[in-house]
Chain A
Amino acid sequence: MADKKSKRIKINMRQALALLFPYIKDRVMSQIKSVWLIILYLVFFQTIILRIPISESSVIAFGIGLVIIGLTIFMEGLFLGLMRLGSLVGSGLPKKSPITVILTFGLLLGFLATLAEPSIHVLQMAGKTVKPWEAPLLFILLNKYSHYLVYAVGAGVGVAVALGMLRFYYSISLKPFIYLFVGPLVLVTVWASLDSNLKNIIGLAWDCGAVTTGPVTVPLVLALGIGISRMVGSADSGATGFGVVTLASLLPIVAVLGLGIYLNSSVPQPMSETDFFKKNVRSQIEVLFRNKDDLTHYVLMETSPQAQLSFFGGNHEEMLRYLKDLAMSEPKRKAVFGAANDALERWAFLRGTKEQQKAVFGHLENMQEAASQYTKEGTTGINIRDLGKRNLAAAIKAIGLLAIPILIVFFLLVRESMPYPDEIVLGIFFCILGLATFGMGIELGLDRLGTQIGSKLPASFKAISLPDDRKTISNFDFDMVHVAISSDGEKRQFFFSENDGKMITIPYDPSDFDQLTGQYRYTPVKGPLFGSGSPLPGILVVILFAFIMGYGATLAEPALNALGATVEELTAGTFRKSLLMQAVAVGVGGGIALGITKIVLDIPLAWILVPPYIILILITKFSTEEFVNIGWDSAGVTTGPITVPLVLAMGLGIGTQVGVIEGFGILASASVCPILSVLLLGLHIDRKRKAALAEESFADEEAGKDKK
Chain B
Amino acid sequence: MKINKTFSRITAYLHRNISKDVLDVLKKMKLQDVHLASARSIVIEEKKGLISIMPGRDLAQDPLDIIFFLVTPESEEPLVNLIIEKGHLYYPGRGSILVEEVELIESHEFFGDYAIQPFEISSQPVHLYSCIGICCIMKRGQGDAVARIALDTGTCVPAIHFGTGTGVRDKMGLLRITISPEKEIIHAFPTIHEADHILEMMIEVGRLDQPGSGFIYSFPIKKGLVNTRVNRGEQRHAASIEQIVTAVDHMKGNTEWRRRRTMVDKRSVRKKKYLRGLVDMILLCDGGTGMELVKAAMSAGAGGATISSMQYMSPHDSPVSDISLARELCSMVIPEETKEAVINVLEESGAFTDRCHGQIHLRRTSKAYTYVGK
Seen from chain A, the residues whose Cβ lies within 8 Å of a Cβ on chain B are 1-9, 11, 16, 19-20, 22-23, 76, 80, 88, 91-92, 95, 230-236, 416-417, 419, 422-423, 426, 569-576, 688-690, 692-693, 695-697, 699-700, 703
A-B CB contacts (within 8 Å), total count: 137
**Within the assembled complex, what's the spacing in Å between the Cα atoms of A362 and B63?**
80
Determine if A235 and B313 form an interchain contact, defined as CB atoms under 8 angstroms apart.
yes
Determine if A91 and B62 form an interchain contact, defined as CB atoms under 8 angstroms apart.
no
**Within the assembled complex, what's the spacing in Å between the Cα atoms of A1 and B215?**
11
Contact flags B247-272 to A (C-beta < 8 A → 1, else 0): 00000000000000000000000000
Determine if A572 and B162 form an interchain contact, defined as CB atoms under 8 angstroms apart.
yes
**Within the assembled complex, what's the spacing in Å between the Cα atoms of A298 and B174?**
56
Of B103-111, B129-137, B197-205, B297-305, the stretch lying at the interface with chain A is B297-305
Determine if A230 and B301 form an interchain contact, defined as CB atoms under 8 angstroms apart.
no
Nearest 8 Cβ contacts at the A-B interface: A696-B93, A23-B178, A697-B91, A2-B303, A699-B88, A19-B178, A230-B326, A1-B303
Q: Which of B61, B302, B333 contacts A573 (CB 8 A)?
A: B61
Beyond known contacts A6-B171, A417-B292: 9 more, CB 8 A cutoff: A20-B178, A230-B326, A423-B174, A571-B40, A573-B184, A574-B63, A689-B17, A699-B88, A700-B88
Within B26-65, the residues touching A (CB, 8 Å) are 36-40, 60-64
**Within the assembled complex, what's the spacing in Å between the Cα atoms of A693 and B21?**
14
Name which residue of chain A comes closest to B335, CB basis.
A2
Contact flags B84-116 to A (C-beta < 8 A → 1, else 0): 000010011110000000000000000000000
Question: Residues of B contacting A575 with CB < 8 Å?
Answer: 61
- Number of B interface residues at 8 Å Cβ cutoff, please give it: 63
Contacts A571-B63, A573-B40 given; indicate if A1 touches B372 (C-beta within 8 A): yes
Determine if A703 and B91 form an interchain contact, defined as CB atoms under 8 angstroms apart.
no
Determine if A11 and B172 form an interchain contact, defined as CB atoms under 8 angstroms apart.
yes
**Within the assembled complex, what's the spacing in Å between the Cα atoms of A464 and B85?**
73
21 contacts between A and B (CB under 8 A): A2-B301, A6-B299, A9-B171, A11-B173, A11-B175, A19-B175, A91-B288, A236-B23, A417-B292, A423-B176, A570-B38, A571-B38, A573-B184, A574-B62, A574-B64, A692-B93, A696-B93, A696-B229, A697-B94, A699-B91, A700-B88
Q: Which of A3, A76, A576 contacts B301 (CB 8 A)?
A: A3
Task: Flag whether B241 is at the interface (Cβ < 8 A).
Answer: no
Question: Residues of B contacting A700 with CB < 8 Å?
Answer: 88
Determine if A692 and B171 form an interchain contact, defined as CB atoms under 8 angstroms apart.
no
Question: Residues of B contacting A8 with CB < 8 Å?
Answer: 171-173
Shortest distance between the CB of B118 and any CB in chain A (Å): 23
Question: Residues of A contacting B88 with CB < 8 Å?
Answer: 697, 699-700, 703
Determine if B94 and A572 form an interchain contact, defined as CB atoms under 8 angstroms apart.
no
Determine if B372 and A231 form an interchain contact, defined as CB atoms under 8 angstroms apart.
no
For A232, A569, A574, which residue has the most chain B Cβ atoms within 10 angstroms? A574
Task: Flag whether B338 is at the interface (Cβ < 8 A).
Answer: yes
**Overall SS of chain B's interface:** mixed
Determine if B175 and A693 form an interchain contact, defined as CB atoms under 8 angstroms apart.
no
Question: Residues of B contacting A233 with CB < 8 Å?
Answer: 325
Contacts A230-B287, A692-B60, A697-B91 given; indicate if A235 touches B311 (C-beta within 8 A): yes
Name which residue of chain B comes closest to A707, CB basis.
B21
Determine if A235 and B91 form an interchain contact, defined as CB atoms under 8 angstroms apart.
no
**Overall SS of chain A's interface:** helix
Question: Residues of A contacting B94 with CB < 8 Å?
Answer: 693, 696-697
Task: Flag whether B238 is at the interface (Cβ < 8 A).
Answer: no
Determine if A91 and B175 form an interchain contact, defined as CB atoms under 8 angstroms apart.
no
Contacts A8-B171, A697-B93, A697-B94 given; indicate if A572 touches B287 (C-beta within 8 A): no
**Within the assembled complex, what's the spacing in Å between the Cα atoms of A689 and B179?**
35
**Within the assembled complex, what's the spacing in Å between the Cα atoms of A462 and B178?**
53
Name which residue of chain A comes closest to B160, CB basis.
A573
For A23, A95, A232, A235, which residue has the most chain B Cβ atoms within 10 angstroms? A235
Q: Which of B160, B309, B372 contacts A230 (CB 8 A)?
A: B309
**Within the assembled complex, what's the spacing in Å between the Cα atoms of A236 and B22?**
12
Shortest distance between the CB of B242 and any CB in chain A (Å): 9
Determine if A696 and B292 form an interchain contact, defined as CB atoms under 8 angstroms apart.
no
**Within the assembled complex, what's the spacing in Å between the Cα atoms of A703 and B304?**
44
Task: Flag whether B291 is at the interface (Cβ < 8 A).
Answer: yes
Determine if A236 and B38 form an interchain contact, defined as CB atoms under 8 angstroms apart.
no
Question: Residues of A contacting B170 with CB < 8 Å?
Answer: 6
Name which residue of chain B comes closest to A704, CB basis.
B21
Contact flags B286-318 to A (C-beta < 8 A → 1, else 0): 011001100100110111100001010100000
**Within the assembled complex, what's the spacing in Å between the Cα atoms of A696 and B38?**
21
Determine if B288 and A6 form an interchain contact, defined as CB atoms under 8 angstroms apart.
no
Shortest distance between the CB of A419 and any CB in chain B (Å): 5
Name which residue of chain B comes closest to A18, CB basis.
B178
Task: Flag whether B177 is at the interface (Cβ < 8 A).
Answer: yes
**Within the assembled complex, what's the spacing in Å between the Cα atoms of A700 and B324?**
33
Name which residue of chain A comes closest to B308, CB basis.
A572
Task: Flag whether B15 is at the interface (Cβ < 8 A).
Answer: yes
Name which residue of chain B comes closest to A573, CB basis.
B40
Q: Which of B20, B302, B324 contacts A95 (CB 8 A)?
A: B324
Task: Flag whether B232 is at the interface (Cβ < 8 A).
Answer: yes
Shortest distance between the CB of A394 and any CB in chain B (Å): 26
Question: Residues of A contacting B36 with CB < 8 Å?
Answer: 235
Task: Flag whether B1 is at the interface (Cβ < 8 A).
Answer: no
Contacts A2-B335, A4-B303, A236-B20 given; indicate if A572 touches B63 (C-beta within 8 A): yes
**Within the assembled complex, what's the spacing in Å between the Cα atoms of A693 and B157?**
14
Task: Flag whether B161 is at the interface (Cβ < 8 A).
Answer: yes
Shortest distance between the CB of A530 and any CB in chain B (Å): 31
Name which residue of chain A comes closest to B297, CB basis.
A6
Task: Flag whether B126 is at the interface (Cβ < 8 A).
Answer: no
Task: Flag whether B18 is at the interface (Cβ < 8 A).
Answer: yes
Determine if A574 and B20 form an interchain contact, defined as CB atoms under 8 angstroms apart.
no
Shortest distance between the CB of A330 and any CB in chain B (Å): 58
Determine if B174 and A231 form an interchain contact, defined as CB atoms under 8 angstroms apart.
no
Contact flags B147-189 to A (C-beta < 8 A → 1, else 0): 0000000000000111000001011111111110000100000
**Within the assembled complex, what's the spacing in Å between the Cα atoms of A89 and B335?**
36
Task: Flag whether B334 is at the interface (Cβ < 8 A).
Answer: yes
Task: Flag whether B359 is at the interface (Cβ < 8 A).
Answer: no
Determine if B291 and A231 form an interchain contact, defined as CB atoms under 8 angstroms apart.
no
**Within the assembled complex, what's the spacing in Å between the Cα atoms of A185 and B352?**
52
Name which residue of chain A comes closest to B182, CB basis.
A569
Question: Residues of A contacting B61 with CB < 8 Å?
Answer: 573-576
Shortest distance between the CB of A17 and any CB in chain B (Å): 10
**Within the assembled complex, what's the spacing in Å between the Cα atoms of A419 and B92?**
43
**Within the assembled complex, what's the spacing in Å between the Cα atoms of A65 and B168?**
34
Name which residue of chain B comes closest to A95, CB basis.
B324
Task: Flag whether B81 is at the interface (Cβ < 8 A).
Answer: no
